[in-house]
Amino acid sequence: MLAFAHMARSPRQTLRVTLLLALTVAFAIFSLVFTASQTQRSSDIAAFESGADFSGDIAASGNAQQGLLSNVLAPYQKLPGVISARGGYNGDGVVTVQFQDTHIAVKAVDANTFAQTAYWTTQDSSQSLASLMAQLVQQRQAAIEQGRVPVIIDASAASSLNLQVGSKFTMTMSDLPDYALDTNTSALNSVVMAIVQHIPTVNAGTTQDAGGSTITVGGGMVLDYTTFAQVYQLANSINPAGVSFTPQMVYMNPQMLQELFTVKKAVLPINHIWLHTRDDAQTLAHVRTALTTAPLHLDTLFDRRALQDTLNVEPLYLDLLTLLTIGATITLLLVLIGYVLASWQNAKLRSGTFTTLRSLGATSLQVAGQFVLEQGFVFVFALLIGFLLGGILSATVVPTLVFSDVPISGILSNLSDSQFYLIQHAFPRQVVIPSTLSMALALFAAICIIAIGTMVWTVMRPSLGQAIRLNED
C-alpha cells in the first residue's frame, strides 16, 4: 500500500523512468533483431544461389556417361574436407502453351543421395528435401516403364504453365540431341509429382543469354537423374532411320548400310556438381583452389560461404550495423546511468520518510521492501512495454529495412539491377529473434537489480539513531 501510495503521489517521476527504460529496451530489441535478420538474409541468398556449399558446371562434360557417374564424382569426393559430392544434369527446357514458349530450368539430380548435399530451407518447401527425393526414388521403376518422368516444380513454373499435382506435360530439351529424329531437340514427357515454393539456384523471372539470344526463366523443376537417363536412352537408342531392310539395300555401300542400322545409345550428360564440405579455413582454401584449377575446374562456381561473406561486408550494410550498434550502446549506457542517478536522488530525497517509517516501528526490511517494490514495478512495466514496442517495431520495420545490395565482387556482381531485384523478392524476408537477445536482456536486468540493491543499501546504511540525529540543528 505504501509503495503504490507513493507512486500515485508522484506519478510523473515514475512515468518518466518507466518510459525511458521501455524505449531503451525497445530500441535494443530492434537493433539486435535487425542485425540477426540481416545476417540471416545474407545467408539465405547465398544458400539459395549456391544450392550447396559449392556448386558449378563441369567443363566439357559432353563425354560423361550415365554409367560412369561414380567415376565422375570420385575425384571430387577424394578432396580433403569434402563430406559428400553429387553430380547431375542442368539444362534448359521449353514448354509451349498457347503458341508461347516458356523456358524452364531443368535439374536432374541423384535422388538417392542429393538430400545429403543440397541446401533446402523451409522457405523453399514445407516438405523436407529427403522426403521429396524418396518419392522420386519410389516412382523410378514405374516411370521408366511408362516413359513419363515425375518432376518437382516450383510455384513460378506451376503458375506459368497452369499446372497442378498430377498434371502431365511434354517439354522440349533444347540442349540434348534426339537421335530418333536426328535434330537438336529431345522431348521429355513429365508428370507433376509435387509443387514447392522455390527451387534453389532457379531465379524465376530473370533473363539469361543462351546461344546469342535472351530467354526469360519461367520457373524450375527437379527430377531424378537415373529415371531421366533411362527414359531418355530408351526413347532415343533406336534405329536412326526407322526403316526395315529391303533386298535393294544389298547394293548399298557397306559403310552407309552399317551406319543406317547401327543403334545409337543416347547418354544423358553429367554437367553439374554439388559439394558439401567442412567449415574450417584450411579445408575451404584447399577446395577452392582445386575447383578453380584443372583438372577439377568448375565453370560458374558458386561458393556459399564466400557469397555470404561478400554480402556481409557490403558498405551500406556495415554502415547501418555500425550506426545501430553505436546508437544502442550509447543509449543503453546513458539510460542506465540516468536510472541509477534518478534512483539515488529519489532515495536521498526520501531519506526523511524512510527514517519516519522506521521510527514508527517499521523494520529495515519493510522499508527496503517498499523501495524495492516501487522500483520493481517500474522495471517490470518498463520491460513489458519495451517488449511490446520492440516487437511491433521489429515486425513492421525490419522486413522493410532488411536488404542485400549487389556485391561489388564475386559471381553475383555480374547481375543486372533488374535481375538482383527479382532475386531479392524471390522469397520473403525473415524476422529472426537472436539468441543474444535473452543474454542482453538478462544483462540489462542484472544491472538494474544491482542499481536497486545499491540504492537500498545507501538508504538503509545509517542506523536509526544516526538517521534521526541527521536533521538536528
Please give the Cα distance from 242 to 238 (Å, whole number). Answer: 8
Report helix, strand or coil for 222.
strand
User: If you count them, how many residues does the chain have?
Assistant: 473
Q: Residue 214 gets which letter from DSSP?
A: E
Among 30-34, 368-372, 449-453, 462-466, top mean pLDDT goes to: 30-34
- The H or E element containing residue 97 is strand 82-97
Please give the Cα distance from 126 to 314 (Å, whole number). Answer: 31
Q: Would you state the pLDDT for residue 240?
A: 47
- Is the pLDDT at 241 greater than 90? The verdict is no
Please give the Cα distance from 346 to 340 (Å, whole number). Answer: 10
Average pLDDT over residues 427-441: 82
Please give the Cα distance from 265 to 66 (Å, whole number). Answer: 11
Tell me the per-residue pLDDT of 160-189, one tens digit each, with 9 for 90 and over.
899 999 999 988 887 775 544 344 446 788
Q: Would you state the pLDDT for residue 202?
A: 86
| pLDDT band per the 50, 70, 90 thresholds, residue 233 | confident
Among 5-9, 54-58, 94-98, 238-242, top mean pLDDT goes to: 54-58
Tell me the per-residue pLDDT of 287-302, one tens digit each, with 9 for 90 and over.
999 998 888 888 888 9
Please give the Cα distance from 213 to 469 (Å, whole number). Answer: 96
- Is the pLDDT at 10 greater than 60? The verdict is yes
- Is the pLDDT at 5 greater than 70? The verdict is no
Average pLDDT over residues 69-85: 87
Question: Could you tell me the three cell numbers for 244?
Answer: 526395315
What are the residues whose beta carbons fall under 8 Å from the beta carbon of 231, sequence distance 6 or more?
A: 143, 144, 147, 148, 149, 188, 189
Alpha carbon distances (Å) from 209 to 203, 213, 299: 14, 6, 16
- Domain boundaries defined on the chain: 2-47+314-469, 90-272
Nearest partner of 296 among 53, 51, 61, 70, judged by Cα: 61
pTM over 0.85: no
Tell me the per-residue pLDDT of 110-154, one tens digit each, with 9 for 90 and over.
999 999 999 888 888 889 999 999 999 999 999 988 889 999 999
